Structure formats: C-alpha cells, structure tokens
Amino acid sequence: MTNKKIPEESTYKCGFVALLGRPNVGKSSIINTLLKEKVAAVSSKPQTTRNAIRCILTTEKEQIIFVDTPGIHKPKNVLGDFMLNEANKALSQVDLVCFVVEAGDHSLGEKEEIIINILSNANIPIILVVNKIDKFSGDEVFWKTVELYETMISPVAVVPISAKKGTNMDVFIETLSGLLPMQPPVYPADMLMDSTERFLTAEVIREKILNFTDQEVPHGIAVIVDEFKSPEEYPELKICEIRATIIVDRDGQKGIIIGKGGSKLKMIGTAARKDLEHKFGYKVYLQLWVKVKPGWRKSQEELRRLGYSF
C-alpha cells in the first residue's frame, strides 16, 4: 500500500461518476486503465460485470469514485433483472454519468434505446465517452459516432479515449474533475475499491472462467467463496486459505470447466491464485469445487443465496 497524502485545500474536487453502456464497450477496462491497476473484471465476453462496483481514483487535486455498472441489455432472467437494477440504482447515487460507446457504432439498437431511456429519466449531466478509438485512424469515425448519439442525450462533454492504449485519459479526468463538486475526499487516499476481499476473490475466479471458456459457459456461472482465511485475521497462518465453489446451471458446463483430467480447472485456479496473490500481497492456497444448480439464474431465492440480492 502507498502512503498517499491528500492536501487539505478547499479547492479539492470529489464526486461519484457512473459508467453506463451496453455490454463489452470497455467500461471496466476504462476503470482499470485510470487506476493503473486491474481492479475490475474484464473479458472479451459481454455481461462480464454483474454488480455496481465502486473504484476510487485519488490524485492531489481530486478524488473520483467510479461506479462500474453491468452492461445494459434486455434481461432474460432474474439475474438480468438484477443487473439492470444495479445500473439503474447506480444512477441515483452519482454526480455525473459517462455514457460509454464504441468508436464505429453506426446505429442504435435495443440496448442503446434502453440506456437512452434510463438517461433521460435520470436528470444528471451526461458525458459521452467514445472508447476504442485505437481501432480507427483519423477522427472521422469518432465524429460519426458522436453524431449518432449527441442529439439523443445532449451531453455536457464528449471525450474520445482508448482504454487499451491509455489514450486521452488525462483529458478525460480533467473533464470529469471540472464538473465535480468541491468537497473533501470521501475515501482514504490509498483505497482503490470499496468491496470485500471475498467479493474480489469471487470476481477474480469468475473472470478467469470467462477468459478460459467459450461463449456458452460464462453466463451460467456464479462463484461463492465458502471460506476465506487470511493471515491478517489468522496470524497462525502463513498463507491465505480460500475455498470457493463454482456454480453452473447445466451438467455439461461442469465438464467443460473441469476439463480433461481436471486440466481446465487447474488453469483457472492457477491464474486466479496468481492474480489474488498480487492483489492481496500474500501467498494464497486456492481450492475450487464445481457444483451444478439447474436454473439458478431464474430463482430469486438462489440468487440471494449467491449474493445477488435486490
């Protein structure tokens, strides 16, 4: 942990900023790039983020609390309803909202219409953030994308960025900072995320499953951390002991996640362990189980048990 100091000046800016957009536009990647640390789960598959997560950027001039939200899509089950509700709820708690879109978007689909509808009811300043500008050279595509959205949402600012390349991130921060209220920081200067270690652990494991499996598996999984014993809480332990269960909703998915002779599960476990050791700063022993619970995404009770409660 760093020992960052925040100057006690009356000009200090602090506020909450939600990132909203359809799945896979790069909302979580933007946060990771800004914080220069991989805090939020990212994958090439849509609907990676399920909960509104607070990630904190602290500089000498400002503290910006980003609320990463699940990509907006038309819900197909109770988990989908939960995710949409998370995004909606986030808007009631922020000073600004960034509508994140992709350079190259050329028409408005169902998801965009849901988002525009949410935004028009929210009554907070909107910044149009056009991500993935690295995919095109010149600024013609950027301006075309802006044209597509501008009239629908009347943004107070428009910012082109690339989370992947880190392009224009300073301008993005300056833009946000200029619109945030003057007030002292809410969180300690060295805090990056407002989540528990258990939540973080489950997210890291889920991210690795998304990274190591094909299209059909990811949406059917959830991760519960059954046991989390850290050396901080249990000084007699030299290593952090974590036991977690991966819930899948079909038998076939269990086989895919375990892989031949357990090879896939081993890959997932190893990658998750390395990430967790980096995050927590101590050695980790990680034990993973896979369990089938048919239809868990459709059951409100099951979702509540898995930590997705409305």
Q: How far is the CB of 301 from Mg ion (least distance, A)?
A: 26
Q: Which is nearer to ligand GTP, 27 or 54 (CB)?
A: 27
**What contacts 29, CB < 8 A, 6 or more positions away?**
42, 131, 163, 164
Contact residues for Mg ion, defined by CB under 5 A: 27-28, 48-49
CA distance 85 to 81: 6
Residue 62 or 105 with smaller CB distance to Mg ion: 105
Per partner kind, with CB cut-offs from 5 to 8 A, the member of ligand GTP, Mg ion, none near residue 132 is ligand GTP
Cβ closer to ligand GTP: 40 or 225?
A: 40
Q: What is the rounded distance in angstroms from the CA atom of residue 197 to the CA atom of residue 182?
A: 31
CB burial of 276-301 (b: ≥16 within 10 Å; e: otherwise) equals beebbeeebebebebeebeebbebee
CB of residue 217 to Mg ion, shortest distance in Å: 18
Q: Quote the CA–CA distance of 3 and 53 in Å, as a whole number.
A: 23
Report, in Å, the least distance between residue 30 CB and ligand GTP. Answer: 7
26's contact among ligand GTP, Mg ion, none, with CB below 5 to 8 A by partner kind, is ligand GTP
Integer Cα distance of 120 and 248 in angstroms: 37
Residue type, 159: V
Closest listed residue to residue 131, CA positions, set 43, 253, 26: 26
The distance of closest approach from Cβ of residue 235 to ligand GTP in the complex, given in angstroms and rounded to an integer, is 37
Closest CA to 96 of 16, 11, 30: 16
Shortest Å, Cβ 161 to ligand GTP: 7
Would you say 31 or 276 has its CB closer to ligand GTP?
A: 31
Q: Shortest approach of ligand GTP to residue 24 CB, angstroms?
A: 4
63 binds, among ligand GTP, Mg ion, none (CB under 5 to 8 A by kind): none
Of 27, 76, 74, which Cα lies nearest the Cα of 48?
27
Query: Which residues contact ligand GTP (rule: CB under 6 A)?
Result: 21, 23-29, 42-44, 46-49, 70-71, 131-132, 134-135, 162-164
The residue among 13 and 27 lying less far from ligand GTP, judged by its C-beta, is 27
Check if the beta carbon of residue 105 is closer than 8 Å to that of residue 135: no
- The interface partner of residue 23, options being ligand GTP, Mg ion, none and the CB cut-off 5 to 8 Å by kind, is ligand GTP
